[in-house]
Structure 1
């Protein structure tokens, strides 16, 4: 079973929680190795949309984990755009910290599949 999408599991699910903690620790350690100073780190968090209606809200759980983790580590969250039902596209400029966000005008959970036109004889692919 793959636990990589969910940063924090339910009570007693230490595999998922440790996965999220490990990923964040690796990220911060790599930043420090590249010359970052941990006390000077600031965070911007984006995402966490509910991508598929009817399934558990993994995006909200990941967003909650991220905000909680940053708070515990004393890393200020200076910008956030979390949750909702719309996809985001981001552009990030690492040297300045600038982020440009474009939010889809279509709710992700409500996208209806479009039928593919019939191809060949008496066969309809959809």
Structure 2
């Protein structure tokens, strides 16, 4: 019951104009967040003995962000630790990571099936 209210509250704090103007900071946060999450998970899977393609599936599968990140960034905004620009950049990262994962994951799984 409270989860939809939380997401509505987070959305209410978002400044949609951030997405309408090109912002190198927002782009850097999104790209860095995606690369670091996939790369770190990939590296961990490789260390654990997975093949390159299997590690890629694990890395991409770990990409989606949502719950914990939204709680932390909302709390940081409320406490005044971060500003609206960083808040919007992190929300963009959450949004992009959730939307691109199915596409990337299906391609990564296809690579494992091909054995390449």
- The TM-score, its normalising length taken from structure 2, stands at 0.40
Structure (1 or 2) with the larger CA radius of gyration: 1
More helix as a share of residues: 2
Task: Name which structure has the greater RCO, CA cutoff 8 Å, separation 6+.
Answer: 2
More strand as a share of residues: 1
- The TM-score, its normalising length taken from structure 1, stands at 0.37
